Amino acid sequence: AQSVTQPDIHITVSEGASLELRCNYSYGATPYLFWYVQSPGQGLQLLLKYFSGDTLVQGIKGFEAEFKRSQSSFNLRKPSVHWSDAAEYFCAVGAGDKIIFGKGTRLHILP
């Protein structure tokens, strides 16, 4: 069965530091992969997505993610975080006729 794992429930980084949020999936074929962000009291907003082609995907707000088939991973990165990046981040997998969201990683930013 398809699954998505975000191993880190909470991550804290200092403003200006680099960030990497981990996402691992389980699916027999190449999935569609997404990262969404949810600010407090808001719905989810798409940051970026991977369907095919270049495995390094650029998104909004300076985020990027890299699809690594050998590791079944789609980690989200940002070279320098801003206080406004504090939010919850969800990795999602579109597989067949299903979409599955990870449990989310809450990002805290230290000033």
In the complex with other proteins, the residue whose CB is nearer, 11 or 15, is 11
The two three-digit tokens of residue 103, written as one number: 């449990």
Q: Return the closest-CA partner of residue 24 out of 90, 89, 71.
A: 71
In the complex with other proteins, the residue whose CB is nearer, 98 or 108, is 98
In the complex with other proteins, the residue whose CB is nearer, 81 or 90, is 90
Contact 111, 83 (CB under 8 A): yes
Question: How many other β-carbons are positioned within 10 Å of the β-carbon of residue 102?
Answer: 22
CB 74 → other proteins: shortest distance, Å? Answer: 15
DSSP 84: G
CB 101 → other proteins: shortest distance, Å? Answer: 4
Binding residues for other proteins, rule: CB under 8 A, are 32, 34, 36, 41-46, 49, 51, 90, 94, 97-99, 101-104
